[in-house]
A and B are shown apart, each in its own frame.
Chain A
Amino acid sequence: MAGSNKVYANAREALDGLLFDGMTILAGGFGLCGIPEHMILAIRESGVKNLTVASNNCGVDDFGLGLLLQTRQIKKMISSYVGENKLFEDQFLNGELELEFNPQGTLAERCRAGGAGIPAFYTRTGVGTVIAQGKETREFGDETYLMETALTGDLAIIKAWKADTSGNLLFRKTARNFNPPMATAGKVCVVEAEHVVEVGSLDPDNIHLPGIYVDRVFKGDRFEKRIERRTIREQ
Chain B
Amino acid sequence: MAWTRQQMCERAALELADGYYCNLGIGMPTLVANYIPEDVHVHFQSENGMLGMGPFPLDNEVDADLINAGKQTITETPESVYFDSATSFAMIRGGHIDLSILGALQVAQNGDLANWMIPGKMVKGMGGAMDLVAGVRRVVVLMEHNARDGSAKLLKQCTLPLTGAGVVDLVITDLGVFEILDGAMHLRETAAGVGIDEIRARTEAEFAH
Contacts and interface: CB of A to CB of B under 8 A. Distances in A.
A126 B86 CA distance: 17
Interface in A102-145: 103-109, 111-112, 123-131
Contacts, number: 175
Interface string B134-149: 1100000000000000
Nearest to A116: B86
Contact of B84 (A83, A176, A230): A176
B93 A125 contact: yes
B62 A109 contact: no
A183 to B, nearest CB: 10
Given A227-B62, A233-B57, A30 B164 contact: no
Interface in A153-202: 161, 171-181
Given A30-B48, A30-B49, A79-B125, A104 B67 contact: no
26 contacts: A33-B65, A33-B71, A81-B124, A83-B125, A84-B71, A92-B122, A104-B85, A105-B128, A106-B131, A108-B85, A109-B89, A112-B86, A124-B134, A129-B130, A129-B165, A173-B50, A174-B50, A174-B66, A174-B67, A174-B68, A177-B85, A178-B85, A181-B84, A227-B73, A229-B70, A229-B71
Interface of A: 30-34, 56, 79-84, 89, 92-93, 101, 103-109, 111-112, 123-131, 161, 171-181, 208, 225-233, 235
